[in-house]
Amino acid sequence: MMEQTILPAEMQLPNNGQPAQAVLESKQVIVEWPDSMRIGDSEEIKMIFEPGGVEGIEGSPEIGFSNIYDHYNLMAEGRFEVAGVVVEPANPLRESLPPGQSIVYKWKITADKTGVYPGRVWLSLRYLPLDGKTPTQSPIFVTSINLKLTSLWGISGPAARRLGGLVIILGIMANIDVMIAWMRKKISPRTRRNSK
């Protein structure tokens, strides 16, 4: 897991000579991913984008920004990129970002080969002008993560669990005579005592 604070200066619209506009609250990005996983198993990558991080930023006059929501609707776009791993749902994921709200992105991942897979998680803001002009998009967070995939003797997680179940059943069947003899020994002394 990793987390990072995103300040208003990092969530400002590229101003192109206009007065600077930004999201006037600090945000926090939290990314969670599995430390390792077995091939064939399904795991989850999660990214949370929520208010928080630094106190006392909201509406502070010294930062010199006006509220972006006065002129724009905002969308947050989450993307997870990695080669050699199946990622669902397909990228990118977009959510409307009202003021003060949290967004959670989740990706299911599976792979069929062992190894370390380097990936990258992206978060961008898409600024949609209320007057219908062309939207602008800007990345505000990027981090690299490594997915470590392992196996038991080259077989997948589901196959290893099936094999383990089969070994238990075979072990019980191979020792059924021993188990029956042990149960008879335990039961027969009681039966003799009761018959006296």
Q: Let me know whether 162 and 88 are in one domain.
A: no
Question: For position 193, what pLDDT does the model report?
Answer: 54
Write the CATH number for 62: 2.60.40.10
How many domains, in total, are found in the chain?
2
Mark whether 109 and 171 lie in a shared domain: no
User: How confident is the model over 61-115, as pLDDT tens digits?
Assistant: 446 788 999 999 999 999 999 999 999 997 799 999 999 999 999 999 999 899 9
Name every residue whose Cβ is closer than 8 Å to that of residue 10 and which is 6 or more positions away in sequence: 140
Is the distance from CB of 48 to CB of 13 less than 8 angstroms?
no
Cα-based distances in Å from 162 to 42, 96, 152, 169? 16, 43, 12, 11
Provide the 3-class DSSP secondary structure of residue 119: strand
Domain span holding position 132:
2-150
Q: Which two tokens stand for residue 73?
A: 């609707």
Reported pTM: 0.74
Mean pLDDT (the chain, rounded) = 82
Cβ 103 vs Cβ 51: under 8 Å? no
Same domain flag for 106 and 164: no
Say if residue 105 is in the same domain as residue 183: no
